[in-house]
Amino acid sequence: MADLLRVENLAKRFGGIVATDDLVLNIPEGELHAVIGPNGAGKTTLIAQLSGQLTPDSGRIHFAGSDITAEPMYARSALGLARSFQITSLFLDLSVLDNVALAVQARAGHSFHFWHNARREPELRDPARTALARVGLSARADLPASALSHGEHRQLELAMALASRPRMLLLDEPMAGLGPEESARMVTMLRELKKELTILLVEHDMEAVFALADRITVLVYGRVIASGKPEDIRNNAQVRDAYLGEQEAVHA
C-alpha cells in the first residue's frame, strides 16, 4: 500500500529544546492516524512542520509522492494537504458562507479575477453550501463568523477543511474546549470524514482517539516511543508508564 505521507528522520530544535527528534512517520492513504503524547511532546510542532508553518532543521517530508520539505504553506495546501488550527483561526469579520467559499476558491485556480461578483458564482457558493450542510451549519450561513459559538467555530473549521477537498487533513485538537455533547457530535462527523480522507489527528481526548484511530503514534519529548493499532498501544507497557497511566490517574 502506498503511503500518502512519509516523514523521514524529521528534527527540529528551539535553542536547547528538542521539539522533534529523528521522527519517522508513514501514513497510508485512507488511514486515520492519531498522534498522542503528554504536553510538550512536540505534537503541534510536528503539525506546523507538516503544514509548512515551520521549517525542519533536517529530515524530509514526502506527500503524495513528492518532496514537500521546502514547499511554502500555500503550495502544500494546493497539493491537497489541509490543516485545521488548534486555536480556531477563521475569517471572523466575513460571513460563515464566505469563510467556506474562500476554501473552495483556494482550490479553484488563481484568484486574479477582478470583475465578476464572486458571491454570485455557483461554482464557489454551491460546494460551500454543501459543506456547511454536512457539518450542520446551513442555518448560520449568512451570519458573520464572529457570531458563532465555540463549538460552531469547530464545525465551521471542519466545513472549510471539507470544502477545500483535501487528500489529507491535519487536525490539531479539534475537540479542545468542547462540551461532551459537542465532542460526541465532532466524533460522529470525523467518522463520516474518515471514509473519504486520510486524517492525521492530534488530540488529548483519549476516548475519541481510541474510538476513531486506525493507528496511533505516541510522542514523548519529540520522539516516537510507540506506533501501532489502538489495542497494541493500549497494552504497550512503555506507553502506559510514560503517558496513559498518568492520563488515567488524572481522569480518575
- Residues near other proteins (CB under 8 A) are 51, 53, 72-74, 77-78, 82-83, 85, 89-94, 98, 101-103, 105-108, 111-119, 121, 124, 160, 164
On whether the CB atoms of residues 43 and 35 are closer than 8 A, the answer is yes
Nearest residue (CB) to other proteins, 129 versus 208: 129
Nearest residue (CB) to other proteins, 81 versus 178: 81
Closest distance to other proteins from the beta carbon of 48 (Å): 10
Nearest residue (CB) to other proteins, 36 versus 132: 132
Closest distance to other proteins from the beta carbon of 120 (Å): 9
CA-to-CA dists, residue 154 to 56, 160, 201, angstroms? 28, 10, 14
Closest distance to other proteins from the beta carbon of 35 (Å): 19
Closest distance to other proteins from the beta carbon of 93 (Å): 5
Handedness of CA 196, 200, 204, 210 (dihedral sign): positive
Nearest residue (CB) to other proteins, 47 versus 239: 47
Closest distance to other proteins from the beta carbon of 166 (Å): 9
**Beta-sheet strand order (sheet of 58-63):** 17-28, 3-14, 58-63, 66-67
Handedness of CA 92, 93, 99, 103 (dihedral sign): negative
DSSP conformational letter for 242? I
Nearest residue (CB) to other proteins, 166 versus 222: 166
CA-wise closest residue to 174 among 198, 194, 193, 155: 155
